[in-house]
Amino acid sequence: MAIASVNPATGRTIKTYDEMTPEQAAAAVAQAHAAWRTWRKTPFGSRAALMKKAAAILRERKDQLAKLMALEMGKPLKQGIAEAEKCAWVCEYYAANAEAQLAPEEVRTDAAKSYVAFEPLGVVLAVMPWNFPLWQVYRFAAPALMAGNAGVLKHASNVPGCALAIEEMFAQAGFPQGAFRTLLIGSRHVQAVIEHPLVRAVTLTGSTPAGESVAAQAGAVVKKTVLELGGSDPYVVLEDADLDAAAETCVASRLINSGQSCIAAKRFIVVERVRAAFTEKFVTRMKARKVGDPLADGTDVGPLARRDLRDGLHEQVRASLDRGAKLLLGGEVPSGDGAYYPPTVLANVTAGMPAYDDELFGPVAAIIAASDEQDAVRIANDTIFGLGAAVFTQDAARGERVARELEAGTTFVNGAVASDPRLPFGGIKKSGYGRELGSFGIREFVNVKTVFVKQAARAVAKPVAE
């Protein structure tokens, strides 16, 4: 079978690629394992030098990579350039910090010497999504490779060009042949790779159903998984918030990547006292964002990645309206080619509507009224998801307190939720488990090994009889 790269702005096929056979995929895993046997013994300084080179290549090619992302999944150019820059940052972060993060930790016991060592596991399979086709991969690959592992990538089938470019850039940086391989395979072949005896662990970023499937398959063969899944991030706006700043931040977060982000703001829970004023500012800013060709300068919102995704999003909007939501902006499928959907705002959103209960993966915002702070926290936590959350207030201490009450892996006060190489990132509940980034992320795919050294007892010489 062929894997096709389709431009979502036009619906035209860019290029087709031959899918790997199961035998070719298995051979790539074996090659990665062979590379790992040498790579795991490579000093941290040598690994860091190659990772810095990988960062330099990303910066050199950022314009080209941004265009590739725009063509394959519709990301506006300026956002694609920023994504490539962030990938370079995570490479540089782990080049600088991996050795210290994985240094043996001495533990005092009754042994002569005892400590915890952190050793690479081997080949890690990454199953990655299309929405951040570089960043999602590099935030796994940079720590995994710096820890001494090898990686194989099963990327989303609509971004094969990005997947191959990542493999090419690691090779260009000088990593051992096969240390990072891209598998051009469909989803139906993932289980066989998970079950391959040389694959030691699996990481997945994607939908909750995809995570449930991969976790079950990996669990059946006793392999560790890290899952970063969907989200319906709540942004709580309290009555003492700076409404202009809050509205600007909320709109920017809702529309990042044309709304196609697990940690994009999705549910805006506003205390009733300021709901009308916030809503007016929010709608004005949503309306001002420019929808258009992702290759054009000034475009804020490009097409969704596929037409079926756009159509599914529209169904969620229509179902919410049928159940009593009020349409304040957008909500209509535009005519013409491409998978475009306009910035859309729904008000009067309540439980039982898709806009309240489900993840809306596109430029659709749900405004939900809360009576007070306590009610806002209750609504924010009334979800199966727990990836990110934010709160807006001019009282920093209050914001921190509320942030601690929000059930999410990442909480922000007066800012948009974002991943940062220096901080752990991941979710709870149906948003997954495990952590990426920071010192916690690099330790996910290592053997946390106890080493206990006891001094050997000396033999006592017996006197020789005269």
Q: What is the set of active-site residues?
A: 228, 262
Q: Alpha-carbon distance 224 to 347, whole Å? A: 42
Is 322 within 8 Å of 315 (Cβ atoms)? no
CA-CA-CA-CA torsion sign (126, 128, 134, 139): negative
Neighbour-count burial of 82, counting CB atoms closer than 10 A to its CB (0-12 exposed, 13-18 middle, 19+ buried)? middle
Nearest partner of 124 among 43, 46, 194, 20, judged by Cα: 194
Q: Alpha-carbon distance 52 to 65, whole Å? A: 18
Is 80 within 8 Å of 186 (Cβ atoms)? no
CA-CA-CA-CA torsion sign (382, 405, 129, 34): negative
Nearest partner of 164 among 293, 19, 365, 286, judged by Cα: 19
Q: Alpha-carbon distance 257 to 207, whole Å? A: 17
Question: Which positions ≥6 away from 168 have C-beta within 8 Å?
Answer: none
CA-CA-CA-CA torsion sign (349, 352, 357, 360): negative
Q: Which residue has the tokens 């993840």?
A: 359
The residue type found at 376 is A
Residues paired with 13 in a beta bridge: 6
The bridge status of strand 13-18 relative to strand 2-6 is antiparallel
Nearest partner of 206 among 25, 419, 432, judged by Cα: 432
Q: Alpha-carbon distance 441 to 428, whole Å? A: 15
Other Cβ atoms within 10 Å of 112 Cβ, number: 10
At what angle are helices 62-73 and 77-101 packed, to 10 degrees? 120
Q: Alpha-carbon distance 168 to 314, whole Å? A: 37
Q: What is the helix (H) or strand (E) element at residue 62, kind and residue range?
A: helix 62-73
Q: For the chain, what is the radius of gyration of the CA atoms?
A: 24
Nearest partner of 443 among 120, 135, 128, 138, judged by Cα: 120
Residue 291, phi-psi category: left (phi > 0), alpha (psi -120 to 50), beta (remainder)? beta
Backbone angles phi and psi of 100, in degrees to 5:
-70, -40
